[in-house]
Amino acid sequence: MLLEINSILQLSIEQGFPKSLVVGKKYKGTKKGYGLYPIDDPIDLVDDNWICKCQVIIKRVVLEDNMTQLEFTVYRFYPSSKLVKDAIQEVIETYSEID
């Protein structure tokens, strides 16, 4: 069993990315495979283009039948959307140069 540890929740529309986001509202998502996520701590929610508009708080994670089922609420919105994938790549490149 492969277990992925995550600090960002990335969902496509098919996986449950909400069509509209409302602070405090509950949402559900499903990911293939087994994934662990922080519970009750804000993490970024990104779409399949790795664009982040808000943070969510995961309330429940169920690992079953090679699927991860999540329940989360929107915690807060960012003043503007941000492209998370580029920021992550920049950090990786910066730290890989340090020896």
Question: Which sequence spans correspond to the domains of the chain?
Answer: 3-96
User: Which one of 3.40.605.10, 2.40.240.20, 2.60.40.10, 3.40.109.10 gives the CATH number of domain 3-96?
Assistant: 2.40.240.20
Dihedral over Cα of 72, 73, 77, 81: its sign: positive
pLDDT for 29 equals 97
| Rounded mean pLDDT for each run of 10 residues along the chain, 99 residues in total | 91 94 96 96 93 94 97 93 75 71
Specify the pTM: 0.83
Strand 8-10 with 42-46, pairing: parallel
Instruction: Tell me which residue of 1, 65, 68, 66 sits closest to 28, measured CA to CA.
Output: 68
| pLDDT (0 to 100) of residue 79 | 83
The DSSP 8-state label assigned to residue 10 in this structure reads E
pLDDT value for 94: 75
